[in-house]
Structure 1
């Protein structure tokens, strides 16, 4: 059940004290004997809060030195491009990181005019730099993505422009915690003034926007007579949309160009917290309320790696939009080779599989995490990679790589292209897909689990499951390694003809997540969810 505050503008009394937050960043010191205060690189880097001693200057100094060591050991000598979003802790973290990187002799580039840089723009920049430079470049994105205003985040994007592999982040994580344990002995720094004067001031945005016509049919958009609204949700890409209007003359109506570290303009999410999640109907209440004003509207989270599409019918479910985007792209990109595959995570909707079969395209299913799509996008065997959490990217029109990280900007502009070309918005197209392939009922829920039970769940094998049926249907497949790349999923997935569930332990809470889908009914979905809990409990109790 949603909190009473859900969908309502955040109360002034609930806003974060930014001064206190930043003060805690510099003054508080983590105790890494406490697991919650250690450096931990999850699927999207290290995240935490300075109030909780999980994201403080000590963490960033240690991570930055560990990353400097990694670059030196791997002979990475090109520019380290540094992006940050609009969270309050992002600028202090940028300063801390620069002090270390410059002290280690690393060539750094930061946004000109102390600006902000979206995650996909950083990825694009690294890819472009490595086309011409003999010395390979990489990047850092300082963002906790859609997390609440008090959180901070730090992510490493490798020389391919995408999220670094687990083996790389594990190395950085281990070394960073060693530096913290040794009271930062061996961490090199320069003063703040020297750090910023030594860093190149770089225009990230203009080259990215100028190149958009290589991935989106911008001429079609220029000729379309659509009324389109944009809400950047106070994020890092406000200037991107302004530059799009400047270069292409689209006349996008930017309904909110405000940067406010407290995000006081946000509607609360389902739990009453402020969370800039552009896939949440609660957080997106303000833009949804304007749906009748526009033919199409869209939003992004603070680092712009996620997309939120609003049509006359309201906010699109991310799974629904991914299905439409895939259906459209693989039939409207003549420069793409016929053998390209569709990258999807194992917890994304099976509507994608049904669409893929109808257009004779193979699905490449992976564990959760966009990093699993990087190799495919870079080396040209994936045309598209997408996650159920509203994150995706795809190739340029000529079949070459664009961004090897999630790009919420091009997914939003693709909705514009689809609507302009087909004279139907993505929600109307999805209804047609439902008429053809059946209606999908999808939901994610949580169930309690101890740390011991979560550890068991993470290491299951298909042989541990004795059940032969699920919600009245024969089980056709059980797997604990993803079908596409055979990597461990850290849980299991159980499949029938008209439904499936996947169970994965949470990395931060005493729960496990159940993703489930039915192509029969809501009642059938509920049965799948209930039986999923029974099946999982029988093997982890």
Structure 2
């Protein structure tokens, strides 16, 4: 039986770069989930009788929200829902399931790398039929709908048994509970040389993969230990937990310090990796060498042809604007297209669909390719393993050889988290106002050659996205970028990105913060972030 329930709007349901992320307690408000999902369906057309994919990263409230979503989908006329067993689907796996089963779209229930648990974060994101995040024209329409919604439709039915594979009925809609890993693992086998990677492990190669009690645990266990022959125990913290084992599922050097320390030790493994809450980010560490996400993008693009899925070469590379220009130098040498987009994986979708690019990446530890329309943490790990198996070198040797060929882009990101939103917003406005006066000025004897607020015009559909981050560039190729992040749930997160290029033949062995020391001082002179926020140092440095 379909019921129409009266409701009142919430004023705070504006999706960010990756859907609507809020505290769990916000989502637990009456009709909060129902309003948002109904607003999504109200903003779409043509889904009658179509297939919808639903899954999440297993965080707290995932199970409750999925049952609501299934019943609302049934009431609104979807013909079939595919849902991962236990309600689980990594974000890249959800993208693949949408594409593989030719679904109309999907609901991904996650707050990615944000903490979980009753006091943590939750999120809902809608992905379109190409498997990628909804473009701004859809998310804007959803937000407008949330402001005026007066009712939602829901089927009055019992909960679906998400533990049991197979089909069940909700109203007139079929719900199929699927193995969350099988389709994705099969796709990985078509892209990478599993035989070569098996031989690598058989040779005594040692690896540790930290799943951080998040969604990639089952995927990594099946693929690395089950199909590639890595020793049992290669995957640690591999069982998804509603609160991520009480940890923070963000694969960076702060929350994966134990893994980093182990890889820096004399008797540590050859390769260390981690992924985040929903499986779309990655951390790559070799023995004695941390690989920055920006460098990883460039290295993966330069070596992708070593994997069977990319042996014909790549069509182009895309990176988010704050990501370092290391990949640009690879694209130039390969003679392929290079695109700079705003932050947010949705901006890569049109380029991928049009065949303009093959590999994409963001400095925030997200890399992926045209195999899906999301960044993909485990994909990046497997491509690295494929490269290591073919080149038979250490990660350190591969990285230093790359710098010797292309030069090194020293690069860092300083995050100021949970800053007062009013202070952060005013800081950005004041910085934007100062931009016209900056070109021609010199700091530390280096002249500013451009200062702007990045605006992106999509080369495929012509859509324009403005106010995507302040860029200040210097004549020596160094630059400063400042932007507000759209992934936090409390206050505002100010991100400061700093980059300086050291050419081929230059000094490539400096510690990053040391190499960027003068640029860090210049950035504070220009932005006054520390002074205006009252912070003596960043919350996180990556």
Question: Same fold by TM (over 0.5)?
Answer: yes
Shift of residue 311, structure 1, vs aligned partner: 1.7
The answer to whether structure 1 residue 43 and structure 2 residue 43 are counterparts is no
Shift of residue 299, structure 1, vs aligned partner: 1.6
Query: Judging changes above 3 Å, is the alpha-carbon distance between structure 1 residues 87 and 473 closer, same or farther for their aligned structure 2 residues?
Result: same
Per-residue CA deviations over 1:1-47 (Å, capped at 9, x if unaligned) read xxxxxxxxxxxxxxxxxxxxxxxxxxxx99946xxxx2121111111
Which whole-Å CA distance do the structure 1 matches of 2:442 and 2:53 have between them? 51
Which whole-Å CA distance do the structure 2 matches of 1:394 and 1:57 have between them? 39
Query: Judging changes above 3 Å, is the alpha-carbon distance between structure 1 residues 528 and 346 closer, same or farther for their aligned structure 2 residues?
Result: same
The answer to whether structure 1 residue 532 and structure 2 residue 523 are counterparts is yes
The answer to whether structure 1 residue 138 and structure 2 residue 105 are counterparts is yes
Per-residue CA deviations over 1:446-501 (Å, capped at 9, x if unaligned) read 57763652563697696464444454323344343357746424332122233101
Alignment of 1:391-540 (within 5 A): 391-395=366-370, 402-445=371-414, 450=423, 453=426, 456=429, 463=436, 465-482=438-455, 485=458, 487-496=465-474, 497-507=476-486, 509=491, 512-519=494-501, 522=513, 525-536=516-527
Residue in 2 aligned with 1:217? Answer: 193
Which whole-Å CA distance do the structure 2 matches of 1:238 and 1:315 have between them? 22
Residue in 1 aligned with 2:299? Answer: 324
Normalising by structure 1, we get a TM-score of 0.80
Which whole-Å CA distance do the structure 2 matches of 1:87 and 1:30 have between them? 27
Residue in 1 aligned with 2:537? Answer: none
Query: Judging changes above 3 Å, is the alpha-carbon distance between structure 1 residues 118 and 506 closer, same or farther for their aligned structure 2 residues?
Result: closer
User: What secondary structure, in the 3-state scheme, does the structure 2 residue paired with 1:493 have?
Assistant: strand
Shift of residue 237, structure 1, vs aligned partner: 2.6
Residue in 2 aligned with 1:95? Answer: 67
**Of 112-121 and 84-93, the range deviating more from structure 2:** 112-121
Shift of residue 287, structure 1, vs aligned partner: 2.9
Contact kept? 1:206, 1:243, Cα under 8 Å = no
Residue of structure 1 aligned with 2:178, choices 202, 212, 232: 202
Query: Judging changes above 3 Å, is the alpha-carbon distance between structure 1 residues 489 and 327 closer, same or farther for their aligned structure 2 residues?
Result: farther
Residue of structure 2 aligned with 1:191, choices 157, 164, 167: 157
**Of 158-167 and 431-440, the range deviating more from structure 2:** 431-440
User: What secondary structure, in the 3-state scheme, does the structure 1 residue paired with 2:148 have?
Assistant: helix
Per-residue CA deviations over 1:329-371 (Å, capped at 9, x if unaligned) read 2676785766722101111112222333333333211111111
Shift of residue 167, structure 1, vs aligned partner: 1.4
Contact kept? 1:163, 1:371, Cα under 8 Å = yes
Q: How large is the Cα RMSD of the aligned pairs?
A: 3.2
Query: Judging changes above 3 Å, is the alpha-carbon distance between structure 1 residues 260 and 309 closer, same or farther for their aligned structure 2 residues?
Result: same
Shift of residue 230, structure 1, vs aligned partner: 2.1
Q: Which 5+ residue runs of structure 1 have no aligned equivalent?
A: 1-28, 131-135, 267-273, 396-401
Residue of structure 2 aligned with 1:158, choices 99, 124, 128: 128
Contact kept? 1:98, 1:195, Cα under 8 Å = no
Query: Judging changes above 3 Å, is the alpha-carbon distance between structure 1 residues 338 and 145 closer, same or farther for their aligned structure 2 residues?
Result: closer
Which whole-Å CA distance do the structure 2 matches of 1:123 and 1:42 have between them? 19
Shift of residue 286, structure 1, vs aligned partner: 3.5
Residue in 2 aligned with 1:277? Answer: 250
The answer to whether structure 1 residue 70 and structure 2 residue 43 are counterparts is yes
Which whole-Å CA distance do the structure 1 matches of 2:226 and 2:304 have between them? 24
Shift of residue 59, structure 1, vs aligned partner: 2.0
Shift of residue 147, structure 1, vs aligned partner: 0.6
User: What secondary structure, in the 3-state scheme, does the structure 2 residue paired with 1:41 have?
Assistant: coil
Per-residue CA deviations over 1:198-253 (Å, capped at 9, x if unaligned) read 32212342122122122222222122232333222112232222332576342352
Which whole-Å CA distance do the structure 1 matches of 2:20 and 2:431 have between them? 21
Which whole-Å CA distance do the structure 2 matches of 1:461 and 1:163 have between them? 34
Contact kept? 2:191, 2:309, Cα under 8 Å = no
The answer to whether structure 1 residue 231 and structure 2 residue 210 are counterparts is yes
Contact kept? 1:501, 1:514, Cα under 8 Å = yes
Query: Judging changes above 3 Å, is the alpha-carbon distance between structure 1 residues 70 and 499 closer, same or farther for their aligned structure 2 residues?
Result: same
Per-residue CA deviations over 1:44-77 (Å, capped at 9, x if unaligned) read 11111133x2564622111111122223x34464
Shift of residue 302, structure 1, vs aligned partner: 1.8
Which whole-Å CA distance do the structure 2 matches of 1:214 and 1:146 have between them? 28
More strand by share: 2
Which whole-Å CA distance do the structure 2 matches of 1:346 and 1:258 have between them? 35
Contact kept? 1:109, 1:202, Cα under 8 Å = no
How many residues in Structure 1 have an aligned counterpart in Structure 2? 481
Residue in 2 aligned with 1:20? Answer: none
Q: Which 5+ residue runs of structure 2 have no aligned equivalent?
A: 1-6, 163-167, 459-463, 503-509, 533-542
User: What secondary structure, in the 3-state scheme, does the structure 2 residue paired with 1:453 have?
Assistant: helix
Normalising by structure 2, we get a TM-score of 0.79
Which whole-Å CA distance do the structure 1 matches of 2:50 and 2:223 have between them? 29
Query: Judging changes above 3 Å, is the alpha-carbon distance between structure 1 residues 452 and 223 closer, same or farther for their aligned structure 2 residues?
Result: closer
